[in-house]
């Protein structure tokens, strides 16, 4: 094994470790964020969003529970270790003779994302607008996808039968990022229980005269905690997220078929399986009152699906 092959092997190993660390970070972040929003609280749904409503009313919200405090500590420690690992990847890629410029660029993007998330983390606690949660979620998921991409074997041809798969996977990755942002907006806007089905969402959005301002990520959520369904005025947010799910099916089903035709069976079946699980979890979660374990699993499936698509590029 020559020097370049040795360094590539080291880079792949390090990228896998960083991917595992970022997976832990994003899972801990999701647990903290969703727990603070009131998922899994009692009595449900009166406690849903109670921390935000307390802040809006100028009262002191309840402190973090012991599990959330432990999750915060683990999140900080893991994020510090991950940043050190990402910086090591940059050094490994950009050491002279020979430099791995393409991998080094991805590693530099990882460093930039890690630093941006560190700055955003200072605003996350106590943030009232969904934009902060969206940025935190997208940044963490992008980091995991890039780590998983750096851990992929190197040497695929730039052209040939697989080019259409790579182009389509790139488009699907961008659309999925938008769908993830819509999911984060739905969660951070407390719109997860605004309606239970597509037709109900249509009726609720029409009854509210289609308030498209609800899609503004810089808009602070507000609703009547005593009314059911919870935050019915934000039904348009959930409706757009549901339409996004349909768009993802229309993109990913042909992509999987194309990948199967090109012999990339493992990736094709992974896309189909993750898509099916994501759709099932989304429907199950809404139908069972936004159970915290289901919300965390829904978040995880989106993360794995994005990483799978990025690796296909």
Q: Residue 309 is inside which H or E element, if any?
A: helix 292-312
Q: Determine the Cα–Cα distance for residues 287 and 193; give it in Å rounded to an integer.
A: 9
Contact criterion met (CB below 8 Å) for 71 and 28:
yes
Q: Determine the Cα–Cα distance for residues 91 and 1; give it in Å rounded to an integer.
A: 20
Q: What is the pLDDT of residue 157?
A: 45
Q: What is the pLDDT of residue 137?
A: 93
Q: Determine the Cα–Cα distance for residues 23 and 181; give it in Å rounded to an integer.
A: 18
The phi, psi pair for 21, rounded to 5°, reads -65, -45
Q: What is the pLDDT of residue 146?
A: 95
What is the secondary structure of 267-279 as a DSSP string?
Answer: HHHHHHHHHHHHH
Crossing angle of helices 198-207 and 235-261, in 10° steps, is 140
Contact criterion met (CB below 8 Å) for 27 and 296:
yes
Q: What is the pLDDT of residue 61?
A: 63
Closest C-alpha among 285, 310, 6, 291 to residue 138: 310
Q: What is the pLDDT of residue 124?
A: 64
Q: Residue 225 is inside which H or E element, if any?
A: none
Closest C-alpha among 89, 71, 67 to residue 79: 71
Q: For residue 189, is the peptide bond before it cis, meaning its omega torsion is within 30 degrees of 0?
A: no
The phi, psi pair for 269, rounded to 5°, reads -70, -30
Closest C-alpha among 154, 151, 153, 152 to residue 13: 151
Q: What is the pLDDT of residue 272?
A: 97
Q: For residue 158, is the peptide bond before it cis, meaning its omega torsion is within 30 degrees of 0?
A: no
What is the secondary structure of 139-199 as a DSSP string?
Answer: HHHHHHHHHHHHTSPS---SSSTTHHHHHHHHHHHHHHHHHHHHHHHHHHTT-TTS-SSHH
The phi, psi pair for 128, rounded to 5°, reads -110, -15
Contact criterion met (CB below 8 Å) for 37 and 48:
yes
Q: Give the three-state DSSP class for 47.
A: coil
**Whole-model pTM?**
0.90
Ordered per-residue pLDDT tens for the chain, 313 residues: 577 788 888 899 999 999 999 999 999 999 998 888 888 777 777 777 777 777 777 676 666 788 889 999 999 999 999 999 999 999 988 887 778 888 889 999 999 999 999 888 776 666 788 999 999 999 999 999 999 999 987 654 444 457 899 999 999 999 999 999 999 999 988 888 888 888 999 998 998 889 999 999 999 888 776 666 778 788 999 999 999 999 999 999 999 999 999 989 999 999 999 999 999 999 888 878 788 899 999 999 999 999 999 999 8
């Amino acid at each position: 094994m020559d020097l370049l092959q040795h360094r590539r092997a080291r880079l792949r190993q390090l990228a896998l470790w960083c991917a595992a660390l970022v997976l832990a970070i994003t899972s801990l972040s999701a647990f903290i964020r969703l727990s603070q929003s009131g998922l899994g609280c009692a009595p449900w749904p009166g406690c849903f969003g109670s921390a935000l409503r307390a802040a809006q009313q100028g009262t002191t919200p309840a402190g973090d529970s012991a599990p959330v405090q432990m999750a915060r500590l683990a999140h900080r420690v893991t994020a510090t270790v991950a940043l050190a690992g990402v910086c090591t990847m940059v050094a490994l890629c950009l050491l002279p003779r020979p430099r791995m410029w393409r991998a080094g660029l991805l590693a530099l993007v990882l460093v930039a994302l890690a630093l941006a998330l560190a700055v955003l983390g200072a605003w996350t606690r106590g943030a009232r607008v969904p934009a902060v949660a969206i940025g935190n979620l997208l940044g963490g998921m992008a980091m995991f996808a890039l780590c998983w991409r750096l851990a992929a074997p190197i040497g695929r041809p730039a052209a040939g039968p697989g080019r259409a798969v790579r182009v389509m996977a790139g488009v699907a990755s961008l659309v999925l990022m938008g769908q993830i942002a819509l999911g984060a907006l739905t969660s951070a806007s407390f719109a997860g229980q605004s309606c239970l089905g597509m037709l109900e969402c249509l009726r609720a959005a029409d009854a509210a005269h289609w308030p498209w301002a609800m899609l503004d990520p810089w808009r602070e959520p507000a609703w009547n905690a005593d009314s059911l369904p919870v935050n019915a005025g934000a039904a348009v947010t959930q409706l757009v997220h549901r339409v996004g799910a349909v768009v993802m099916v229309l993109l990913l089903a042909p992509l999987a078929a194309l990948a199967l035709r090109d012999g990339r069976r493992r990736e094709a079946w992974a896309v189909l399986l993750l898509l099916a699980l994501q759709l099932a979890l989304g429907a199950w979660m809404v139908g069972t009152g936004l159970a915290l374990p289901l919300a965390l699993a829904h978040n995880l499936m989106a993360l794995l699906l994005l990483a799978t698509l990025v690796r296909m590029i």
